[in-house]
Amino acid sequence: MARKIVITSGKGGVGKTTVTANLGVQLAKNGYRVIVCDLDFGLNNIDVVLGVENLASFDVVDVVEGRCRPKQALVRHPRYPTLYSLASNRISERYVSPQAVRLILDSLAQRFDFILIDSPAGIDEGFHRAVACADEALLVTTPHISALRDGARVAGMLKSYRLQRVGLVVNMVRNDLVRRGELLKPEEIAETLKIPLTVVVPEEDRIFLDNITDRSRAFRILANFYTGGIAGAEGTKKGFFSGLIRALHK
């Protein structure tokens, strides 16, 4: 049964979609079966970040409104065969109940290991819909004051949901500024938000999926946080011993 993890933030543009896409790719590379579900209605762009734009014939609202079955709306990633994307609707005002989306994700959950839900920024209807579908949350913030203030509101809101686990990603961290005391340390941010720090992602000029940088290392750490460093079914088939060695090194 898939774990459903919502990736959320108070302020927009802090890196939710980047984190969702990269975590999805990393989990799929480790052999897990993953759906990346875009619930950012109207401002959806995870298909572009994943490089699967224009491949979807249906979106999540087509499923809710009965125009297709959940499976038909999934797009398999051309490069990562265990990674699927479920596209969002382009009309932001569309009313879709949290229960309706939850039912769809639950019906898909049997055949997957992870469902990652990219949510809109803020605490409006779209936030509630996305969080209500999830069992766990990952709050993304940058170390900047405006992001932290909005992040604190979301951290407070998340407490009113029955979530099994809430993690924190501090994104776009510049170590030189942290050292000079111009930015809060990630640990201080975690303390302020009262959420355990899951991973720190450095700011990098360009974000590519799948290149070897400090940032991609951060996403590997994040994927390991959810899997304990153990390879999924596909990964096990491909490299049982490497999976085992990874597990033993944890």
Residues forming the site for ligand ATP (CB under 6 A):
9, 12-18, 40, 43, 121, 171-172, 201, 203-204, 207, 215
Strands (E), 174-214: 197-202
Nearer Cβ to Mg ion (7/104): 7
Which residue is at the shortest CB distance from Mg ion?
A: 17
> Given the rule CB under 5 A, which of 10-18, 65-73, 78-86, 190-198 is the region that contacts Mg ion?
10-18
Nearer Cβ to Mg ion (83/184): 83
Q: Which helix (H) or strand (E) holds 114?
A: strand 114-118
Taking CA atoms, 223 is separated from 29, 44, 85, 153, 207, in Å, by 10, 23, 18, 26, 17
Minimum distance from residue 113 beta carbon to ligand ATP (Å) = 23
Residue 119 near Mg ion by CB under 5 A: no
d(CA 176, CA 158): 32
Residue 17 near Mg ion by CB under 5 A: yes
Nearer Cβ to ligand ATP (23/121): 121
Kindly give, in sequence order, each residue whose CB lies less than 8 Å from that of residue 64, ignoring residues fewer than 6 positions away.
Answer: 96, 100, 101, 104
Q: Which helix (H) or strand (E) holds 243?
A: helix 240-249
Nearer Cβ to ligand ATP (35/121): 121
List the single partner that 44 binds among Mg ion, ligand ATP, none, CB under 5 to 8 Å by kind. Answer: none
The answer to whether the beta carbons of residues 13 and 166 sit under 8 Å apart is: no
List the single partner that 15 binds among ligand ATP, Mg ion, none, CB under 5 to 8 Å by kind. Answer: ligand ATP
List the single partner that 172 binds among ligand ATP, Mg ion, none, CB under 5 to 8 Å by kind. Answer: ligand ATP
Q: Which helix (H) or strand (E) holds 108?
A: helix 98-109
With H, G, I as helix, E, B as strand and everything else as coil, classify residue 121. coil
Minimum distance from residue 12 beta carbon to Mg ion (Å) = 7
